[in-house]
Structure 1
Amino acid sequence: MRLLVASLLLLFVCSSGLALQIQCYQCEEMTHDCSTPEFIVNCTVNVQDMCQKEVLVKDDGIHYRKSCASSGACLIASSGYQQFCTGKLNSVCITCCNTPLCNGPRRKKLPPPSAAMAPNTLQHPVFSLSLLLLLDSIFC
């Protein structure tokens, strides 16, 4: 029974966003957007907590660099290149983000969720924790 409770607790931790590993796209100097499954990597746990995307405008077209990064290094790099992000020749734009595969192509905006939709219980930590405590008291 304790194994069941421990498993549910682990599920709660993973679903609540406390897992500290992120997946990003990774490529070097590609002339295409390299946002396909073969370029997905698992970033280093507790070290690389962001995805970084560099877009370089060169004579021969747009080049992409994508990678995992630590938040400090990424934010410093992106702020340092802000003045060079013009979209013109020799432009360099560096962006940072912290959700899985966020350094891929821009996603289309989704319509707001309907009020009639049932909430995802794993997204509600208080409900999940209450459920775990109830199961623990019932089965232990």
Structure 2
Amino acid sequence: MKECMSAALQIQCYQCEDVRQDDCTSPEFIVNCTVNVQDMCQKEELVMEDGIHYRKSCASSGACLIASSGYQQFCTGKLNSVCITCCNTALCNGPRHKRRAASHACAAPSISHYITSLLGLMLLYLCLH
């Protein structure tokens, strides 16, 4: 039963602390986030004199939203810039994608996130009964 529950609402993210230049997206940086607690991936990019430093981790949506909105004014892309982004799909804090309209604030959970959550709850219910 425990195996069935752990598959319910778990996301995988890249996790690293203060990695310079390399954006830590190789397989050894992949972690399983805490089930039903850490539902987002977080990425911090700090522009320093010696290059861009990355921090990536699992996060709860509440903590990630607060952090990203709190640092939004410091996300300039210039020296000492700090950008924090949040996302809610597997390994979404990985490599940069081609820029569309860049938004550094955390996006609200998408409808697919709610559907995935609902399916996870349904799976959990079926596992328990």
Q: Which runs of 5+ in 2 are unaligned?
A: 100-114, 116-129
Tell me which residue corresponds to 1:23.
12
Distance 1:96 1:78 in 2: 7
SS of alignment partner, residue 84 of structure 2: strand
Aligned residues: 94
State the identity %: 84
What does 1:38-117 correspond to in 2, within 5 Å? Answer: 38-107=28-97
Runs of 4+ with >4 A deviation: none
Q: d(CA) in 2 for partners of 1:37 and 1:23?
A: 11
Q: Are residues 106 and 61 of structure 1, via their aligned partners in 2, closer, same or farther at CA, if it must alter by over 3 Å?
A: closer
Distance in 2 between residues matched to 1:108 and 1:41, nearest whole Å? 24
Q: Over residues 28-68 of structure 1, what are the superposed CA-to-partner deviations in whole Å (9 max), with x where a residue is unaligned?
A: 00011001100000000000000000000011110000000
Letter in 2 for 1:21: Q
- CA deviations on 1:68-102 (whole Å, 9 max, x unpaired) are 00000000000000000000000000000000000
Matched residue SS, 1:75: helix
Instruction: Report the RMSD for the aligned CA atoms in angstroms.
Output: 1.9
**SS at 2:62's partner residue?**
helix
* Larger CA Rg, structure 1 vs 2: 1
